[in-house]
Amino acid sequence: MKHLSLLFAAFLVSYTILAQRPVQMRTMWQRPQVHVLFNGYTISFTIKDINKALVLLYETGDHTYGTSCGLDTAGDYVIELYAGMRMEYRNPQQRMMQQGIGAFLLGTGHALVQNKKHKKVMSVNKDIEPLIEGQTGTVYKFYDPQNGMLFFYGVMPADMYTKDIGLD
């Protein structure tokens, strides 16, 4: 019985590892202004990329966030997110990043990820959960390949899966 449970545990671990897909982070030529804090990691985005993603989301028919985040490019913005979706959002940027475009930008490599020691994470693993019938989005989880630590948990609208943000 003990060997059977160990075999089952090994199967579960190998399944989660094989289900993950690597994503190479691109070089950011502009200074990122929006910094998302999640589970000790800092995920930074440029306002230009956020606005491009919002336009793509708007084109899919989701008019929740509009076509611009409305943030000034001269400022720096810190947004703290928490694991799971059972929280009260304190500002619109939290919801926009976790349930709107954060997973899309990370999945396309348009982010700067720093670990707890402030070192760049050049490649990340993304795990996509299956789309549940009747839902408009699917859950994306991003992990640090060095230690397997979850550093972002968000939802990406299903219509955004085939969109391309392009190059700068």
Q: What is the strand order of the sheet 21-24 is part of?
A: 21-24, 123-128, 137-143, 150-157
Q: Determine the residue type at 17.
A: I
Query: CA 166 → CA 13, 26, 53, 110, 115, distances in Å?
Result: 35, 12, 10, 10, 26
pLDDT band at 86 (very low <50, low <70, confident <90, very high): low
What does the pLDDT read at residue 19? 62
Average pLDDT of the segment spanning 113-137: 89
Q: What is the pTM of this model?
A: 0.80
Say how far apart CA 14 and CA 18 lie, in whole Å. 6
pLDDT of residue 130 exceeding 50, the answer is yes
More confident residue, 166 or 34: 34
pLDDT of residue 135 exceeding 80, the answer is no
What does the pLDDT read at residue 57? 92
What does the pLDDT read at residue 3? 46
